[in-house]
Structure 1
């Protein structure tokens, strides 16, 4: 792993040692400084093999009990081929495009029909990412609510007719391209998913007075196109601090940059609403342990 070379290799090493095993470490040759540091840090505790593909090929000729690899799919195929000679089991942690981001985003937004104060109010991504994201979001929506969401027992309803009217009015007043969606005021104040696309690449054209730039509190998800990570961070910082902020990326540096350069009530990477669930569980645990009661225990949040 080149984006988290120290943590990826050391965490695996620690779990191996705690299980009573010995290990040989092979850092990525792309991260030269990390490779050299690991080689001289605690040489009496573990062996480090430095080098590029040739050294890795030679190393793989040995018989191991288990191989753990983090990196690209192309190198992983070579690792698997070499390991197959000795029938060595392999654990792979690979990069690539992951539709789970769309699934987690959809769940976080449309849980309880979007009526959650920490539900994502908008998505910031490049146009290329948006085009890849939308098909996966549609798949996730159908997997959650079926082909006829109005008949789904899992799709929430809007709490009152007044709130239903407010959401429909937001759609009428705002500017953007609607992808899917339907509504029915009579049947259980039903509103199915609306994905609202702002096609402009210039975020300055999106006014703070735009209804969909306010707290939506419903199943409507605006997607705004940005040119760069800096554009997205500036867009967030120019507005009131969000109650929750979710960063989706397979690069840890991107997540760290968003965390360090923004301010929000809660922050979570590659998931949504999870930080609130953790806080609720911690509050419940603290209340349960301090009261020392047995049997039924209520929520501490």
Structure 2
């Protein structure tokens, strides 16, 4: 029989986790700098501070989320009351990625603990310093029967050979398929946070300066190694020249001389990723940036113009600071139809002052989540579920949705034990008059 931790135990685990993050803050700054040159501001805002905010959000609401939920009971079942009880799945496997190795590993861990589960956790092998600090921190505050931290060197095949009650994976669609195949052997439910080519649409009515600022911020944050980063831009042909000119100004204001690594620019996490991204840059189409340094794994903020759908850079998620710009004239045939012809994106962004255009795009294109007149900032709202659809993911989390993701909802009908209230219409012998009565009740 499962022994579910009560509210006080769950809250205590969350508070210990939050206190440990605050204690290890300086150690994480050093680790992020060591792994891929990530500065203190980005490390705090997108990793440490982000997770602390998510944990506080959960702490304040956990008691309410844990309560049994009352639901209506139809008259045909009278007298009775109906309740839905959230309970933990049991043992949860969390596999974290390299791009936000603290955020995207600890945030789902916190949600799983809030729901009362125990966790087996594997951090990324590609960020060894951060993963080592995560392991040290978690082993300091949790026994292995609550949070088991496995070595990043343990292969996914070995890890997935074990049986779990739930699996939460963040990474590529390719590995996501492997995880789902392994989970299917035991019919284990999964959440897959994957990725894809997320478009930013800039219409003829878009506020161009605002669009360039927010696309640049979302694209070049973490050197483009963000699953919800705008992967490419679809800009109306009539404003394309103005868009490129404004983007040039914005990049200059944000980063200064990009021929050398700016202080606020993160590096690419791995050499093989640096090489892959550099191969996607067509020198003939570079209008901004296009350079890199193999010794430091720096890639300059890069904008490509004159890109077509058949170009190599449009065949895979870029996951780096390279922004292809495509133009369109007709929203229906050259934007909506083109995006719908590919895999469903994790995110979509539209910049426009035209409400009809905005409604049309939101209604006709399926995607995980996104923004109107901004990029990536929907992740800052814990009340918004975060997750993909189709090839970009299965399931969602953040806030209450995260608690629900890691909870099984057990439905129970409570009937009275009093014999004089035993109005059971379904017991034999059945009569025609009883059937007529049941027909009326079912209406």
Q: CA deviation at 1:212?
A: 3.1
Structure 2 residue corresponding to 1:184, chosen from 282, 293, 299: 293
8 Å Cα contact 1:127-1:225 kept in structure 2 = yes
Structure 2 residue corresponding to 1:122, chosen from 232, 242, 247: 232
8 Å Cα contact 2:304-2:324 kept in structure 1 = yes
User: Is it true that 1:229 corresponds to 2:331 in the alignment?
Assistant: yes
Structure 1 residue corresponding to 2:348, chosen from 237, 245, 248: 245
Deviations 1:153-189 (A, max 9, x none): 21111111111111111225xx961112111111x21
Rounded to whole Å, the distance in 2 between the matches of 1:125 and 1:240 is 20
Rounded to whole Å, the distance in 1 between the matches of 2:261 and 2:323 is 21
Rounded to whole Å, the distance in 1 between the matches of 2:248 and 2:384 is 31
8 Å Cα contact 1:114-1:219 kept in structure 2 = yes
8 Å Cα contact 2:248-2:288 kept in structure 1 = no
Structure 2 residue corresponding to 1:110, chosen from 210, 220, 233: 220
Moved more, 123-132 or 214-223: 123-132
8 Å Cα contact 1:149-1:155 kept in structure 2 = no
Rounded to whole Å, the distance in 2 between the matches of 1:96 and 1:118 is 21
Greater RCO between the two (CA within 8 Å, min separation 6)?
Answer: 2
Q: What is the DSSP-based 3-state SS (H/G/I as helix, E as strand, rest coil) of the residue aligned with 1:198? A: coil
Q: CA deviation at 1:117?
A: 0.6
- Mapping 1:96-107, distance limit 5 Å: 97-107=207-217
Aligned residues: 187
Q: TM-score, with normalisation over the residues of structure 1?
A: 0.56
Rounded to whole Å, the distance in 2 between the matches of 1:145 and 1:119 is 18
Cross-structure match for 1:167: 277
RMSD of the TM alignment (CA)?
Answer: 2.8
Q: CA deviation at 1:281?
A: 8.1
Rounded to whole Å, the distance in 1 between the matches of 2:215 and 2:352 is 12
Moved over 3 A (4+): 95-98, 279-290
Q: What is the DSSP-based 3-state SS (H/G/I as helix, E as strand, rest coil) of the residue aligned with 1:224? A: strand
8 Å Cα contact 2:378-2:384 kept in structure 1 = no
Structure 2 residue corresponding to 1:194, chosen from 288, 302, 327: 302
Q: What is the DSSP-based 3-state SS (H/G/I as helix, E as strand, rest coil) of the residue aligned with 2:305? A: strand
Rounded to whole Å, the distance in 1 between the matches of 2:367 and 2:261 is 37
Q: What is the DSSP-based 3-state SS (H/G/I as helix, E as strand, rest coil) of the residue aligned with 2:366? A: coil
Q: Give ranges in structure 2 of 5+ residues lacking alignment.
A: 1-204, 386-396, 405-443
Rounded to whole Å, the distance in 2 between the matches of 1:235 and 1:114 is 23
8 Å Cα contact 1:176-1:197 kept in structure 2 = no
